[in-house]
């Protein structure tokens, strides 16, 4: 893991206050857009590893909850992250934008 990736993880943990989406204490980071070779080629590593694509989670089951799998929602999230690479967006704002499109 690179220093930049660690910094992005720290931003995500801080934004989420080390709290999982279920309310428990987070112990790991989940990717909304999965960190796969296909997604890295499609969206770019800068987007996949960006703090706005990361969520603090407590378990693999909660990791599944934060994944964005619908193609139209994935494109919305990609554009949102791409346009805000250096801004820390509230999770509620991101979720609202994905659902309203």
Strand partners, 57: 28
pLDDT tens for residues 9-22?
Answer: 999 999 999 999 99
For 15-29, 33-47, 53-67, 85-99, which range has the lowest pLDDT when averaged over its residues? Answer: 85-99
Give the pLDDT confidence score for residue 101 in this predicted structure. Answer: 61
pLDDT tens for residues 60-91?
Answer: 999 999 999 999 999 999 999 999 999 999 99
Measuring CA to CA, which residue among 2, 52, 4 is closest to residue 30? 52
Q: Which domain holds residue 30?
A: 3-100
Report the alpha-carbon distance of residue 88 to residue 15 in Å, rounded.
8
Counting the structural domains of the chain, the total is 1
User: Would the pTM count as exceeding 0.95?
Assistant: no
Q: Per-residue pLDDT averaged across 19-26, rounded?
A: 97
3-state helix, strand, coil in the chain (%, to 5): 55, 10, 35
CB atoms within 10 A of CB 99: 9
């Amino acid at each position: 893991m690179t220093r930049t990736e660690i910094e992005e993880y720290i931003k995500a943990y801080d934004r989420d206050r080390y709290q999982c989406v279920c309310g428990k204490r987070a112990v790991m980071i989940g990717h909304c857009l999965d960190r796969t070779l296909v997604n890295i080629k499609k969206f770019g590593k800068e987007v996949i590893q960006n703090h706005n694509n990361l969520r603090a989670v407590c378990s693999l089951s909660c990791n599944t909850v934060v994944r964005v799998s619908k193609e139209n929602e994935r494109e919305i999230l990609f554009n949102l992250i791409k346009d805000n690479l250096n801004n820390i967006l509230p999770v509620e704002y991101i979720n609202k934008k994905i659902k309203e499109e």
